[in-house]
Structure 1
Amino acid sequence: MKKYLLLLLTLVGTFTLQAQVADSYYLPTNITYDPAIPTPQQFLGYQVGEWHVTHDQRVAYMNKLAELSNRITLAEYARTYEQRPLLLLTITNPANHANLENIRTEHLKLTDPAQSGGLKTANMPAVVWMGYSVHGNEPSGANASLLSAYYLAAAQGAEIDSLLRECVILLDPCINPDGGNRFASWVNTHKSITQVSDPAAREYNEVWPGGRTNHYWFDLNRDWLYTQHPESQGRMVKYHAWKPNILTDHHEMGGNSTFFFQPGVASRTHPLTPRLNIDLTAKIGAYHAAELDKIGSYYYTQENYDDFYYGKGSTYPDVNGSIGILFEQASSRGHAQETNNGLLTFPFTIRNQFTATLSTLRAARAMRVELLDYMRDFYKSTNEPVKAYVFGGSNDRARTWEMVNILRRNDIAVHELAKDETLEGRKFPKDNAFVVPLDQSQRKVVKAIFEKRTEFEDSLFYDISAWAMPLTFNVPYVESKANISLGKKLTENPFPAGKVVGKTAYSYLFEWDSYFAPRTLYELQKRGYRTKTAAQPLIVSIDGKPREFDYGTIQIQVHDHNPDSTYQLLQRLAARDGVDFYASGTGLTSSGIDFGSENFKTMRQPKPLMLVGAGVNSNDAGEVWHLLDQRIKVPLTMADMGSFNRLDLSEYNTLILVSGNYGSLSVDKIRDWVRAGGVLIAMTDANEWLAEKGLSTLKLKAIPNDTTGPKLYALADLYQGAQVTGGAIFQVKLDLTHPLAYGYKEPMLNVFRDHNNFVQPIKDPYGAPAIYTDSPLVSGYMSARNQKLIRNSPAIVCNNLGSGKVIALLDNPNFRAFWYGTNKIFLNALFFGSQISSGRFGGGAQE
């Protein structure tokens, strides 16, 4: 069999190298096609698979099909950061198009138990969503989408007529246009006319950061649940407008593999997903196998991949009454590459993806009633022990506001509180808290978002094992097992604007509580205002009443600026950033430090530099870039690692090292710069390098060897995988008086961790402002061995180095853009890092 595969791939590859493939290589040949509809080759001027289609070409072709075919309507559902359109084609027969809104509204009734019982599913079309290439450098899907759209527009005969009568097909031809275009440009630029298939060729080795991610280097396939990017936000509107019965997610994997389709590893399926979902996925899989057998392709199933994290494209549908299907095609990563299975060509990868599209559609038509009934049963009401989740009431309304946005993007009903509530000793005021009842159609999504889980059937995870939203946002919440009085359901969610209290020509104060306070501060610094930070609390008379201001309060000195223009500026910032400003005409306070105290520390405007390029984790770097560029509006210089030793570091006051390998850097150059007053912020495994080079005082714990005796060789991956911390939530205790904790009101904070670096206790009693608690695992998986190692260990280590500071953040506070609760830790390091004094009473600076 293996010899057959090698021969097949070699013949296909040789043919492709020597001549352009014919349409018959891809398309079924037992039917006719409407000659009025141009094939992709006729439209592009070259055959699919000969070159990598760019997004503008793909968009133009889809628009042409919509123009010529009465089976297709096209809508732009979003724009990427680089302003490329994201499209959704709705494909069905003309009769269905004429009745499309009624079909859609009837279909949505399947999710409402009060209405679904009377539906006759035998008379309803199934809804199928085809999603291609969320990863830009996995191009076979996005290129196959042209063939899929052509086939659905032009194919003739009883089979296609039946399919379009019994199905509404939603086709998303490219989920990640920015990354896809980046990759297409790379491989097309490096393609030789005399094709080179050597894996060492530059064509198959794109430069950092590669085309996998979107503009800010985010993996969009992890953003389905938390929807932090425009691509995902627009897609969710369309998804929940239709609630498809099947959603396909077309990917690629390493070139030495074959073709994978789900189901994956059953024991790694999330418990909220019904067992019937797995069974239906397997039944659909039989259709894939039959079609792939016909063209001689090899494949596998029920291995490697799982359906646990609901933020992925193939798993998100599973908690929404649908069947999500992952396809993974071995990637040519260019046009034709030698692999362990012989020559793998781009057309061959496209044909497999197109074949899987056809097999999915055949399964959807054949299983139509079964799939519709499954969705109806999925949404039937159940008696839940938890009746509602109540959240809010924190000192930062902006984080709560974004939580509500995400919930509503997931089609979850959010209500105001009918009255103030006190639950488990915590107060939830009706004007600053919300309730999500479980008595709603999206109750499983609600549970998936709110629940904490520390027990699992399997100890291996393809992705993270925990993502509970109130923990990631650091927003107080309570699971209520009693019904909560509901206020009105939210139909809009206006931003919680701040206010300006009073007017002065002297000073204003604002607290560091608001998520967007750093954006406010940077705007003021950019405009030349002198700003200072309170290193001690104070009480100030505001409107004749004493008001307390906490650690980290910002003082804005106005005496060098026009009072009227300052007042107008603060009004705009209050509305934009949700910050409250308080005017004071005197520097004398009722209690605590006065305005002229040395404990009001003069602030410096951040001038950050982040190193990027080969060896640096592009996801982590992109998270910093996105946070500063999109949310805080701080300009960030990103310099390539290779240019570092030539840079003039005096232009910057902050150096950021995310996860990566920094062995090529000049340690002496960094040390001299820090000693002269620079702030070095390092995250996750970059701290290993800091410790090794003596830039940080942290010391890593040794990981004990496994001494439990002989084990089965065949299970080695399982044993070793069980020690991996793939992504879980842990609790640390903060020193609320420390500059890195400014803006936090409660000492317990939830952090994200996805590595096994553990730090020994440090000698400086003031140098670890965050320490893991005695039982830190809050949600997710960590092995018993690693739980022992993490207990009571530092999560942050700070030390002086000459006049500068080194801040070691053991975990990533900016993970996937949805860890709003710890972004403040990173931003505090950026804005207040120079004010930290470690070893305060231990003889001064440490070297």
Structure 2
Amino acid sequence: MRKQLYLLFFICSFTVFSQENTVDLNYYLPQDVTYNPNIPTPKSSLGFEVGEWHVTHDKLVTYMQTLANASDRITLENRGVTFEGRPLLLLTITAPKNHNNLESIRKNHLALTENTSSALSTNNMPVVVYQGFSIHGNEPSGSNAALAVAYYLAAAQGPKIDELLNNTVLLFDPCFNPDGLQRFAYWANTNKSKNTNPDPNDREFDEVWPGGRTNHYWFDMNRDWLPVQLPESRARIESFHKWYPNILTDHHEMGTNSSFFFQPGIPSRTHPLTPLKNQELTAEIGTFHAKALDKIGSLYYSEEDYDDFYYGKGSTFPDANGSIGILFEQASSRGHAQESDNGIITFPFTIRNQFTTALSTLEAAVAMRTKLLKYQRQFFADTRKEASGKGAIIFGDEKDASKVYHLAEILQRHQITFHELASDVSENGTTFKKGHSYIIPKQQKHYKLIEAMFEKRTKFRDSLFYDISAWTFPLAFNLPYTETASTNKIGAKVTDLQPKKPATSALSNYAYLLEWQDYYAPKALNEILQKGLRAKVGMTPFSTANKTYDYGTILIPVQNQNLSAAQLHTFLSEVSKKSNVTITAVNTGLNKGIDLGSRDFEALNRPSVAMLVGEGINSYDAGEIWHVFDQRYDMLLTKLDLKNLSRVDLSRYTDIIVPSTWGNPLGKADTEKLKEWTQNGGTLIAYKNAGRWLKNNGLMPLEFTKDKDTAKNISFEQRSNFSGAQRIGGAIFNTRLDRSHPITFGYTSNHLPVFRNTTLFVTPDENSYNNPIQYTENPLLAGYISNKNLAQLKNTVPFKKSNLGRGEILYFTDNTNFRAFWYGTNKLLMNAIFFGDIM
């Protein structure tokens, strides 16, 4: 009887809830001000109240344009477009008198970061706040709150708002991730019922793969603030360095059964380069959030979760730049309303919390204005003192101008000063050539940012990390680099960075050679093969015309091609220009070492590549592969959805990639189909957890080693920390290479730094020649790994190859394309594609 009464109560409550779900704008707005009736409300522009529907990005843009046209407090800037062509808007919101003097305000604010700032008074200087929303598209309460926040800032009237606008320049980014927000809004809106259903089992709360969290190429953009590889990131980083805001807020969502989080995070997980004062100010700002949330009765917590370690996140990147980064995490309704441990959580409720803390941030900024401005000035003064006498960093690679350029490009985006080398430098056994290397003096205002990008840290206060524990950029790029105490080889400052242009090749009636070391050599080779031209790869080094060519050199003969000698020269010249790689003409096949007609040149086939996607495939890993093919190498990649695999004719593909998997996405029939395709001559390339699928289905003999983690003297309270410390969240490890193996072609060193975030340890083959990449005896280069995992990792292998019928299976234990900035191992995948069938 009690259960029946409870059920009746629930049904009645649910019926009432369904009828009263819609709220009006007053649900969000403070009532201690009046509102200008001439400023359009969101409903007047969009046709619905904030929170009634999920706003799509196009409608969000429309409303921001409407406000900018109606209010003299707002100017609007379009800073570029996403991969899908959506605008990347930034609103500058401040008092009209500040708008009239905005450039002078900006220059005075930037002066706080310079040596000359000591004489500058902060008494009447506005504080600068950058507010950004919904970098994860399926965390939409932020961007929907932006509608109400922008209206409030445009329409509110009275002394309180005047004080705010007079003393603040607000850089307002209503949506960090337009493509993802659009994708999620479509899902939530198309699955909404007239009678809102909070049942967590409803389809509304189960997005179709890959979900709206990510951008077009399925990247988590809240990991790209430091690498700056995506157009959305480049726009916001340019805005950041244009102003150096005092506070930057990043509005997120978390699990439905949570409440509301604001920083500080767990103190022991703050990066050591971040000043203690930063965390003190973060905590002080937090008191304003607590007061505001107390007022509306919302539960919250702080200092119990998340961290400030990886500088590639929006809430942490500012901390290395004299700013205060603030993370907000709101429990998500993941739709319009959903049952939770805290009762039914509605979409308007989530929006109100985001709205409330957006305003409490601005209240804190005004109250702490001079304190924040003085902290910023002191941060850069202390940074310069800390950098004094610290020397410089040199990096470069004579054989790979493209990777050198792309690392320098990141430095330039962060306004880090760097120079040409005045002459060749030899340091620590490496020679850095003038014209092929750059030098970064540490004595500059971005010293902390430089340290964050180049350090190799292996000691930590805490063993748990919310994200990766290492991201050393020259290791990610696989570029030689060194620290030097001397700065006497500093040449001209680089102010107009440009890629180095290859020399134009002479015409040959015999052959052309393409060295494989440059990052974009695969792009050139793909274009050559797609043209239907014959090309071969050299399996052994050789020398000709006083030049040595390494393993993997590509030979393009002139004879028996579908182009004349003149046409071939013209075509290869265009390929060279577009790919920015050198293609060299040779007039004889007689060499020192193998000759050009040697059997040690293997013929190459034109690749046709597909990749499995869909439910059960890790969308991050798949998106990174897609991005590498599409954006870096201009190579076609067919995305095969698993649900359609049974109907696809696989014979048209030479290579099929299986990114990391979860669950058991490939059933028996699909597995047999891929097995048969491989046996008939295909190359199957698998990553990470897909290795277990290979092993369990007899496709590849793999032996994984794993000692069981036994908790000793660990309390119930400590159990999650214990298990978390056994993870490899993301660290960098050293491997030794057999450079004669095709999987390592293009690498000039016998060692290669690799990124790893799995505990998949593969036993090496008993034949050494089958272990072309192997972890060293002491592999840790940077980051955290437990002692037990480190002991298991050493001398294991991150790559295995085996035959299956007439085909090959290639397996990588870890992601070679991590977050678009791991340039150094992208070539491993390209080698698997172009050379997989000759291994």
- The question of a shared fold, defined as TM-score above 0.5 by the shorter chain, is answered with yes
Alpha carbons 1:394, 1:476 under 8 Å: kept: no
* Counterpart pick for 1:774 among 767, 777, 781: 777
Q: For residue 762 of structure 1, what is the aligned residue in structure 2?
A: 765
Using the TM superposition, give the Cα deviation of residue 804 of structure 1 relative to its aligned residue in structure 2, in angstroms.
Answer: 1.0
Using the TM superposition, give the Cα deviation of residue 719 of structure 1 relative to its aligned residue in structure 2, in angstroms.
Answer: 1.0
- 2:768 is paired with a residue whose SS is coil
Q: 1:640 to 1:443 in 2, by over 3 A?
A: same
Using the TM superposition, give the Cα deviation of residue 12 of structure 1 relative to its aligned residue in structure 2, in angstroms.
Answer: 12
Q: For residue 174 of structure 2, what is the aligned residue in structure 1?
A: 173
Q: Which amino acid aligns with 1:553?
A: T
Alpha carbons 1:16, 1:347 under 8 Å: kept: no
Alpha carbons 2:317, 2:325 under 8 Å: kept: yes
For residues 16 and 260 of structure 1, the distance between their equivalents in structure 2, rounded to whole angstroms, comes to 28
Using the TM superposition, give the Cα deviation of residue 20 of structure 1 relative to its aligned residue in structure 2, in angstroms.
Answer: 2.5
Q: Which amino acid aligns with 1:455?
A: K
Q: 1:805 to 1:565 in 2, by over 3 A?
A: same
- 2:84 is paired with a residue whose SS is coil
- 1:379 is paired with a residue whose SS is helix
Matching of residues 321-360 of structure 1 within 5 Å: 321-360=322-361
Q: For residue 471 of structure 2, what is the aligned residue in structure 1?
A: 467
Q: Deviations over 1:194-249 (max 9, x none)?
A: 11111111111101000000000000000000011001011111110000000000
Q: Which amino acid aligns with 1:536?
A: T
Q: Which amino acid aligns with 1:568?
A: T
Alpha carbons 2:18, 2:197 under 8 Å: kept: no
For residues 170 and 635 of structure 2, the distance between their equivalents in structure 1, rounded to whole angstroms, comes to 43
Matched residue pairs, number? 821
Q: Deviations over 1:124-153 (max 9, x none)?
A: 100000000000000000000011111111
For residues 128 and 207 of structure 1, the distance between their equivalents in structure 2, rounded to whole angstroms, comes to 36
Q: For residue 38 of structure 1, what is the aligned residue in structure 2?
A: 40
Q: For residue 632 of structure 1, what is the aligned residue in structure 2?
A: 633
Q: Deviations over 1:54-96 (max 9, x none)?
A: 1111111111111111111000112000000010000001111
Q: Deviations over 1:754-798 (max 9, x none)?
A: 011111122333222100000000000000000000011112111
Alpha carbons 1:505, 1:558 under 8 Å: kept: yes
Alpha carbons 1:416, 1:488 under 8 Å: kept: yes
Q: Which amino acid aligns with 2:341?
A: N
Q: Which amino acid aligns with 1:375?
A: Q
For residues 482 and 234 of structure 1, the distance between their equivalents in structure 2, rounded to whole angstroms, comes to 35
Alpha carbons 2:67, 2:154 under 8 Å: kept: yes
Identity of aligned residues (%): 50
Q: For residue 841 of structure 1, what is the aligned residue in structure 2?
A: none
Using the TM superposition, give the Cα deviation of residue 16 of structure 1 relative to its aligned residue in structure 2, in angstroms.
Answer: 7.0
Using the TM superposition, give the Cα deviation of residue 738 of structure 1 relative to its aligned residue in structure 2, in angstroms.
Answer: 0.5
For residues 64 and 712 of structure 2, the distance between their equivalents in structure 1, rounded to whole angstroms, comes to 60
Does the alignment pair 1:689 with 2:697? no
For residues 584 and 423 of structure 2, the distance between their equivalents in structure 1, rounded to whole angstroms, comes to 29
Q: For residue 485 of structure 2, what is the aligned residue in structure 1?
A: 481
Using the TM superposition, give the Cα deviation of residue 484 of structure 1 relative to its aligned residue in structure 2, in angstroms.
Answer: 4.0
Q: Which amino acid aligns with 1:643?
A: N
Q: 1:307 to 1:313 in 2, by over 3 A?
A: same
Q: For residue 499 of structure 1, what is the aligned residue in structure 2?
A: 503
Q: Which amino acid aligns with 1:187?
A: A
Does the alignment pair 1:753 with 2:756? yes
Q: For residue 318 of structure 2, what is the aligned residue in structure 1?
A: 317
* Counterpart pick for 2:424 among 401, 420, 444: 420
For residues 575 and 666 of structure 2, the distance between their equivalents in structure 1, rounded to whole angstroms, comes to 43
For residues 75 and 11 of structure 1, the distance between their equivalents in structure 2, rounded to whole angstroms, comes to 46
For residues 216 and 750 of structure 1, the distance between their equivalents in structure 2, rounded to whole angstroms, comes to 25
Alpha carbons 1:522, 1:605 under 8 Å: kept: yes
Alpha carbons 2:691, 2:813 under 8 Å: kept: yes
For residues 320 and 383 of structure 1, the distance between their equivalents in structure 2, rounded to whole angstroms, comes to 14
Using the TM superposition, give the Cα deviation of residue 250 of structure 1 relative to its aligned residue in structure 2, in angstroms.
Answer: 0.2
* Counterpart pick for 1:86 among 65, 85, 88: 88
- 1:555 is paired with a residue whose SS is strand
For residues 84 and 673 of structure 2, the distance between their equivalents in structure 1, rounded to whole angstroms, comes to 36
Q: For residue 433 of structure 1, what is the aligned residue in structure 2?
A: 437
Q: For residue 462 of structure 2, what is the aligned residue in structure 1?
A: 458
Using the TM superposition, give the Cα deviation of residue 17 of structure 1 relative to its aligned residue in structure 2, in angstroms.
Answer: 4.4
For residues 775 and 274 of structure 1, the distance between their equivalents in structure 2, rounded to whole angstroms, comes to 32
Q: For residue 4 of structure 1, what is the aligned residue in structure 2?
A: none
Q: For residue 673 of structure 1, what is the aligned residue in structure 2?
A: 677
Q: For residue 731 of structure 2, what is the aligned residue in structure 1?
A: 728
Using the TM superposition, give the Cα deviation of residue 515 of structure 1 relative to its aligned residue in structure 2, in angstroms.
Answer: 0.5
* Counterpart pick for 1:62 among 61, 64, 68: 64
Moved more, 684-693 or 819-828: 684-693
Q: Deviations over 1:254-312 (max 9, x none)?
A: 10000000000000000000111111011000000101111110100001200000000
TM-score w.r.t. structure 2 length?
0.96
Moved more, 257-266 or 664-673: 664-673
Q: For residue 99 of structure 2, what is the aligned residue in structure 1?
A: 97
Q: For residue 843 of structure 1, what is the aligned residue in structure 2?
A: none
Using the TM superposition, give the Cα deviation of residue 694 of structure 1 relative to its aligned residue in structure 2, in angstroms.
Answer: 2.1
Alpha carbons 2:771, 2:800 under 8 Å: kept: yes
For residues 12 and 83 of structure 1, the distance between their equivalents in structure 2, rounded to whole angstroms, comes to 41
Q: Deviations over 1:406-458 (max 9, x none)?
A: 01111211111122211112111121110111111111000000000000000
Q: For residue 308 of structure 1, what is the aligned residue in structure 2?
A: 309
For residues 742 and 86 of structure 2, the distance between their equivalents in structure 1, rounded to whole angstroms, comes to 41
For residues 376 and 35 of structure 1, the distance between their equivalents in structure 2, rounded to whole angstroms, comes to 41
Moved more, 572-581 or 65-74: 572-581
Q: For residue 657 of structure 2, what is the aligned residue in structure 1?
A: 656
Q: Which amino acid aligns with 2:259?
A: T
For residues 19 and 347 of structure 2, the distance between their equivalents in structure 1, rounded to whole angstroms, comes to 10
Alpha carbons 1:500, 1:570 under 8 Å: kept: no
- 2:762 is paired with a residue whose SS is coil
Alpha carbons 1:332, 1:346 under 8 Å: kept: yes
Matching of residues 93-172 of structure 1 within 5 Å: 93-112=95-114, 114-172=115-173
Q: Deviations over 1:490-519 (max 9, x none)?
A: 111111121233211332111101101111
For residues 144 and 511 of structure 2, the distance between their equivalents in structure 1, rounded to whole angstroms, comes to 60
Alpha carbons 1:654, 1:830 under 8 Å: kept: yes
Q: For residue 608 of structure 1, what is the aligned residue in structure 2?
A: 609
For residues 129 and 511 of structure 1, the distance between their equivalents in structure 2, rounded to whole angstroms, comes to 46
For residues 425 and 19 of structure 1, the distance between their equivalents in structure 2, rounded to whole angstroms, comes to 69
Q: Which amino acid aligns with 1:721?
A: G
Gaps of 5+ in 2: 1-8
For residues 435 and 236 of structure 1, the distance between their equivalents in structure 2, rounded to whole angstroms, comes to 23
- 1:501 is paired with a residue whose SS is coil
* Counterpart pick for 2:519 among 490, 515, 526: 515
Using the TM superposition, give the Cα deviation of residue 698 of structure 1 relative to its aligned residue in structure 2, in angstroms.
Answer: 2.2
Gaps of 5+ in 1: 1-6, 837-847
Using the TM superposition, give the Cα deviation of residue 831 of structure 1 relative to its aligned residue in structure 2, in angstroms.
Answer: 0.8
* Counterpart pick for 1:47 among 41, 46, 49: 49
Q: 1:16 to 1:167 in 2, by over 3 A?
A: farther
Q: 1:802 to 1:764 in 2, by over 3 A?
A: farther
Matching of residues 289-304 of structure 1 within 5 Å: 289-304=290-305
For residues 143 and 263 of structure 2, the distance between their equivalents in structure 1, rounded to whole angstroms, comes to 20
* Counterpart pick for 1:580 among 570, 579, 582: 582
* Counterpart pick for 2:818 among 808, 815, 818: 815
TM-score w.r.t. structure 1 length?
0.95
Matching of residues 210-359 of structure 1 within 5 Å: 210-359=211-360
* Counterpart pick for 1:830 among 808, 813, 833: 833
Q: Deviations over 1:541-577 (max 9, x none)?
A: 3xxxx32211111111232212222222222222222
In angstroms, what is the RMSD of aligned CA positions?
1.5
Q: For residue 4 of structure 2, what is the aligned residue in structure 1?
A: none
Q: For residue 395 of structure 2, what is the aligned residue in structure 1?
A: 391
Q: 1:32 to 1:12 in 2, by over 3 A?
A: farther
Using the TM superposition, give the Cα deviation of residue 527 of structure 1 relative to its aligned residue in structure 2, in angstroms.
Answer: 1.1
Q: Deviations over 1:374-401 (max 9, x none)?
A: 0001001224363211110341010000
Alpha carbons 1:16, 1:345 under 8 Å: kept: no
For residues 15 and 429 of structure 2, the distance between their equivalents in structure 1, rounded to whole angstroms, comes to 68
For residues 562 and 256 of structure 1, the distance between their equivalents in structure 2, rounded to whole angstroms, comes to 68
Alpha carbons 2:33, 2:160 under 8 Å: kept: no
Q: For residue 197 of structure 2, what is the aligned residue in structure 1?
A: 196
Does the alignment pair 1:526 with 2:530? yes
Alpha carbons 1:13, 1:344 under 8 Å: kept: no
For residues 82 and 268 of structure 2, the distance between their equivalents in structure 1, rounded to whole angstroms, comes to 36
- 2:704 is paired with a residue whose SS is coil
Q: For residue 3 of structure 2, what is the aligned residue in structure 1?
A: none
Q: Deviations over 1:529-551 (max 9, x none)?
A: 1111111122223xxxx322111
